[in-house]
Structure 1
Amino acid sequence: MKMKRQILKSVFFALTGTLLFSCESDLEITPNNPAVFLSDEYFARPDAYVAGLAGVYGNLALTGTEGPGSSNIGGIDAGTSQYGRCLLYLQSLATDEMLWSYENDAGVREIQRNIWTAENPIVRGMFSRAQFQIALCNEFLRQSTPDLVASRNPQNAAEIPAYRDEIRVLRALAYYHLMDMFGKAAFNTEDQPVAVAGVQYDRQQLFNYIESELLAVLPALKAPRTNQSGRLDAAMARMILAKMYLNAEVYIGQQKYNECVTQLEAIIAGGYSLAPNYLANFAADNNTSPEMIFAIQSDGVVTQNFGPTTVMINGSVGSLEANGESLGVGPGGWGGAIRLRRQFVEKFNGAQFDNDVRNTIISGSRPIDITDVINRDQGFILAKYSNKTSSGANGSNQTFVDTDFPLFRLADVYLMYAECFLRGASNATASNALNYVNLLRERANGNNLQNITASQLTLDFILDERARELHWEAHRRQDLIRYGRFTGGSYNWAWKGNAQNGIAIGAFRSVYPIPVLAIAANPNLTQNPGY
């Protein structure tokens, strides 16, 4: 944990000491006063560039400059504007994976019942936080041109081109999330002046831009697993490309499974390996996992925030079980905040999953069905994430956890490869696809007793296996949309469409609305159909 804490301290000091931003309106989510930060005066400091880099990374984890309750997105709760938490809510809470007990929390009821509007604060939080990240990246790039760097003669000057490449990838990640969840974004780069309203880019334009940016910087990025802990490398950039190519039919109406496999094979060749213990990927020291490609960092002392892992671990504690100590938090946690919908639980039905380490479902005396959302004693609970280290020690804080939130890991690469093979990628092989899936099955069961055969490797199997392997990692909505099972009524889950047993929802909900305040602030933005 020592190395991670050193990096996170850099993030903390960058945000509290220099990132003096405020987004009181949604006007492009740009610095309220750029002269305060990322300015000539600021960059006169010898350590300014490394601190600025840490600050841009830090925006993925932190929400403000005054602790976990502060937000630099104006007019919104801190937790509702945390990058990873918004991502989790929009990609997982809106699906069959989880249900939140406290529906008085702003925006939650509408998200988990699939009845959100353009005024939903969680939708606004995600859109605003991603656009804010883009604004941070743009300003760093404006202030780090070769001429400006030469005139300032900072420390680590030779490293600043590498910083710029990483910043471009972080910007591409934000644009990727906007493309995936909203289908459009206000587009700005460092070439436009600060506070100029960005033009609207649709999915095709965003896809083309993100792809070109990532391909341009890939040759200069550090090789996989060679960068400083917490910073991205070439494998992370390739993961964004692979995700785009896997979902290209949704985004731009074109198949790009061969291109996806090319990126996946490069990642697999990058030296990653499966963690021997699946649950080590979700422990307080999961930054040491050999399969972690990129994660949103968390530390219970120096970067306290109400991010996704703090939410999930405290929220996993059952109202009946009071099992918080086993998860490294207070005994009562958050009193049964998160429970499981029946349809997810059923993905582990059958004796073959009795000894599957991915099956951390706790049923106890609980009913499987949730007939009353606010009744925290209904519905099973989960113990996947933990604030204990792999050796069983507690994290540094028993509320704010040390557990990083995994955005990309090797297990996902294996499952994506198998799916591409099944969808017709000519450069994927049947033997590799089957082997990659069975490596995950062997890891989950400690032997090969639950390996599948070639005839069992189907697209439906992959969708369910992705749920078993990757649940609560912010992939499910995207997966269901790719399979045509998110909107419509071909697959319903409890409380989908605001009905206890689930009902069809309109196709327009395959993207989220553009927040009303964003449209009011930027006349270039238009609302998505249906909202």
Structure 2
Amino acid sequence: MKNKLTHKVIYILGTVLILVGCTNDLDIEVNDPNAFLVDDFYATPESYKQGLAGVYGNLALTGANGPGDSNISGLDAGTSQYGRAFWNLQELTTDEVKWSWENDGGLRGLNRNTWTADNVVIRGFYGRCMTQVAFVNEYLRQTTNDKLNSRGVSDNTRAEVQTFRAEARFLRALAYYHLMDLFGKAGFVTENDPVGAYQSPQYNRAELFAFVESEINTILPELADPLQNEYARVDKAAAWMLLAKIYLNAEVFIGENKYDECLTYCNNIIASGYILSPVYANNFNADNHSNSARNEIIFPIVSDGVVTQNYGPTTVMVNAQVGSIEQNGADFGVAGWAGGLRVTKQFSETMLNGTYDTDDRNTILSDDRTIEMTDMYDYGTGYVTAKWSNKTSTGANGSATEIVDTDFPMFRLADVYLMYAEAVVRGGSGGTLSTAKDYINLLRSRANNPFMVTENDVDLDLILNERMVELYGEAHRRQDLIRFGKYTGGSYNWSWKGSVVSGIAIGNFRKVFPLPKASVAANPNLTQNTGY
């Protein structure tokens, strides 16, 4: 069992869906808050935590009736699950991995960097983020002082509710951060706006950046100290991580250098008690919620083969990394999907360049395969990897054979070490090159890599490679390539970039995704991104 909060999520998500109504796939906002007698739901002190569980549940679950159900009308569960859609946008559009079955909705356009505003995965993620905003807004409306007063809530419960509200506000800030990163703009609505106000104003990147920064700083005092909250709930370290992320990418987001600020929050996290798991693979096993990775993973999206069932990123990766030739699903505790994912030639060359050949993070399987995917529909071309597993750290199988128990580590400490190193190299104060070198070597040593780096080795090229090797498949790569100036244009091409086997230049407008056409049509305040 992961914890009581996690295992209540399915029931509570169903309740929250009733509380806020169904969502509309055009502008994605709640419809009828009176569909359920909310005062009946909030009749007990325990209900406030249960309501919060429903808000967390939106990260993992798509509806109240199992993993195949979606509460966003017009979209299925596969294209509207938060973690899976996020992963698709951040990974399939890069030099790391490609999805073999291009007839699946929206994935051919992502594989080949040819997406349009009609792409269902893009629409699904925008919709899921706005659904998260709607859930948080309604939770905040139901937990104001006036509401608590009217229900006679005790002082002890009120203190807990303040923490719950801060966690909910973090989840809303996280959604707006993802919208800022991926779309560069979004409709903006808070709990202070009327329910059902579909024509929300548009916030640009600078406005979203300012909101996320202010919101996180405001709620920080109310959050639990690092490692003092229940697993999979937000603590101060998760909030510091979100601040560090926006500051690391501030030159992309708002055209300002904020590496000093990034280092401040990286240092806070590093000093907070989180530690590296001594075994790299434990971060990606079925018991990563309870093995040594528990103190490395700062914030996950939960998955459970029986209770919090979802076709999210880890279920996809564990099953789809099973190759069409290898048929080794039993090695990972699943039946496997036989060829869904393959890695690019450029990824394989990085892993096999001599530096990482014996590194534990190099899980490439290459026997009887060609390094290049010369034909996207020939599943025997392109190498495959074996990073993710539905087996525990002791070798036991997960609780089910398709939907996995493995949680998705959205934030973990290893990323913080690499963020620190990058911010130092980019000129940030508050860190040293010597310490940056030490952090990189900690990651290499943990992975049994025999090649340690010196201060002279630590430059941006090294860091970009280290981020790929350490974090591949964890939904960082698109953001990284953009920050390093290697995503658009033709200075760096990878397999199938621009829909050509060897890769070609793509336009700068693809640094952001289009707003879904349906959302723009529904809200006259939204303007489409240039190029779409």
Q: Which residue does the alignment assign to 2:171?
A: 170
Q: Which residue does the alignment assign to 1:360?
A: 363
Q: Is the 8 A contact 1:294 1:409 kept in 2?
A: yes
The letter for the 2-side match of 1:10 is K
1:222-281 CA-partner distances (Å, limit 9, x unpaired): 111100111010010111110100000000000000000001000011101110000100
Q: Which residue does the alignment assign to 1:152?
A: 151
1:328 equivalenced with 2:329 (yes/no) = no
Q: Which residue does the alignment assign to 1:65?
A: 64
Q: CA deviation at 1:514?
A: 0.3
Q: Which residue does the alignment assign to 1:274?
A: 276
The letter for the 1-side match of 2:14 is T
Choose which of 292, 298, 301 in structure 2 pairs with 1:296.
301
CA distance in 2 between partners of 1:231 and 1:188 (Å): 24
Q: Is the 8 A contact 2:31 2:195 kept in 1?
A: no
The letter for the 1-side match of 2:362 is N
- 1:75-474 correspondence runs (5 A): 75-154=74-153, 156-196=157-197, 197-288=199-290, 289=293, 290-330=295-335, 333-445=336-448, 449-474=450-475
Q: CA deviation at 1:214?
A: 0.4
Q: Is the 8 A contact 1:24 1:75 kept in 2?
A: no
The letter for the 2-side match of 1:312 is M
**SS of aligned partner of 1:185:** strand
1:8 equivalenced with 2:6 (yes/no) = yes
**SS of aligned partner of 1:40:** helix
Unaligned runs of 5+ in 2: none
**SS of aligned partner of 2:133:** helix
Q: Which residue does the alignment assign to 1:479?
A: 480
Q: Is the 8 A contact 1:232 1:294 kept in 2?
A: yes
Unaligned runs of 5+ in 1: none
1:189-216 CA-partner distances (Å, limit 9, x unpaired): 1111111121000000000111000011
1:472-524 CA-partner distances (Å, limit 9, x unpaired): 00000000000111010111000000011100000000000000110111111
1:308-331 CA-partner distances (Å, limit 9, x unpaired): 00000000111111110111101x
Distance change >3 Å, CA 96–CA 358, structure 1 → 2:
same
Distance change >3 Å, CA 107–CA 419, structure 1 → 2:
same
CA distance in 2 between partners of 1:263 and 1:28 (Å): 35
Distance change >3 Å, CA 79–CA 22, structure 1 → 2:
farther
Q: CA deviation at 1:43?
A: 2.2
CA distance in 2 between partners of 1:380 and 1:195 (Å): 48
Q: CA deviation at 1:12?
A: 1.2
Q: CA deviation at 1:5?
A: 4.9
Q: Which residue does the alignment assign to 2:530?
A: 529
Q: Is the 8 A contact 2:327 2:338 kept in 1?
A: yes
The letter for the 1-side match of 2:319 is N
Q: CA deviation at 1:351?
A: 3.4
The letter for the 2-side match of 1:127 is Y
TM-score by length of 1: 0.97
Q: Which residue does the alignment assign to 1:504?
A: 505
**SS of aligned partner of 2:355:** helix
Task: Indicate the RMSD between aligned Cα atoms, in angstroms.
Answer: 1.3
Q: CA deviation at 1:30?
A: 2.1
Q: CA deviation at 1:46?
A: 4.5
Q: CA deviation at 1:23?
A: 4.7
Q: Is the 8 A contact 2:23 2:131 kept in 1?
A: no
Q: Is the 8 A contact 1:28 1:132 kept in 2?
A: no
Q: CA deviation at 1:27?
A: 4.7
1:139-191 CA-partner distances (Å, limit 9, x unpaired): 10011001211221358443101000001111000000000000001001111
CA distance in 1 between partners of 2:152 and 2:496 (Å): 58
CA distance in 2 between partners of 1:38 and 1:343 (Å): 56
Q: CA deviation at 1:399?
A: 0.4
**SS of aligned partner of 1:59:** helix
**SS of aligned partner of 1:524:** coil
Q: Is the 8 A contact 2:11 2:64 kept in 1?
A: no
CA distance in 2 between partners of 1:426 and 1:15 (Å): 44
CA distance in 1 between partners of 2:436 and 2:45 (Å): 50
Distance change >3 Å, CA 190–CA 17, structure 1 → 2:
closer
**SS of aligned partner of 1:254:** coil
